[in-house]
Structure 1
Amino acid sequence: MSIFLLTKKTKFFAPVNGKLEALSEVADSNIANGKMGVGYAVEPTDGAVYSPVNGEVTSLFPTHHALGLKVGALEILLNLGVDTAELNGMPFKMQVKVGDQVTPETQLATMDLQQIKTAGKATTVSVLIFNAADKLDNFKCSAAKDVTAGALVGKGAER
């Protein structure tokens, strides 16, 4: 039997409706230069935020600007906007709690895009795989395009 048959494939989905982008396009240098892991971003057209994976909610930031997710051995951060922690949770409404099992059909949160823009912040939603260097091989993501929340946009082989 081939070892490749035993490798778990992880699928990644668009967390919001909008324009899929490479992380290098995100207006946060720590995200854009890969310091926070590999992944992808979507510039949202509306505020409904869904899970980018079939997994479990592992953390909710007190400022509601980010959620931690786990799928297999992969640790994922879903970051809502750029520098939005400074807004102290005002534009976000969480709809899940730690321990919830989620799918790409699960709405995690709602973002008030206008409130974020009025505060002078970018609304970009980033999906960051923190431990990809140790736990993920062959991560592939679709090229920039318009996406619908729940659309398959990437795959990788979990080690």
Structure 2
Amino acid sequence: MKSKETEFTQLIESNQGIVHKVCRIYCDTPEAREDLFQEIVLQLWKSFDSFKGDSKFSTWMYRVGLNTAITLFRQKNRTVNTTSLDDGSFFNIKSNDYDEDYEEKLKFLYACIKKLNDVERALILLYLEDLPYKDIASTIGITEVNARVKMNRAKTKLKEMMNPQPK
């Protein structure tokens, strides 16, 4: 049987793209993204015992990651204070950077997404993951109908930002 730490490390390593996407949406610099990445991993570890398997691990991971990012983003002091756990060998998990070409292609999209409010950012991020509205609603903590309405509004805003019409 796998130890809790081993199971956690394997789950994080195989799903770390989720954390990278959250970090990219909420942070501008590589240093801030790395700090947020570590903070999200810490929060995932602290709440790992609360994951009961009622939803997909990735859905739960999005919820913890988005809540951590939004909480830190809203604080006046934007520095991320991380706590270290002395016996946590899983903190050797390293963030793998995205391919630079891929990053460059997404730069404009991310710049537009960053102009959206916190909930709209989360909705768009989950939408880009091709999650069904039911999972999006569950992750954000709203009804499926409300998720659809908010998503349509967010997509309209994003389209207007990406394709401004001359006046």
TM-score bin (small chain) = under 0.3
Q: Which has the higher helix share?
A: 2
User: Radius of gyration: which is bigger?
Assistant: 2
TM-score normalised according to structure 1 size: 0.28
Higher RCO, 1 vs 2 (CA within 8 Å, ≥6 residues apart): 1
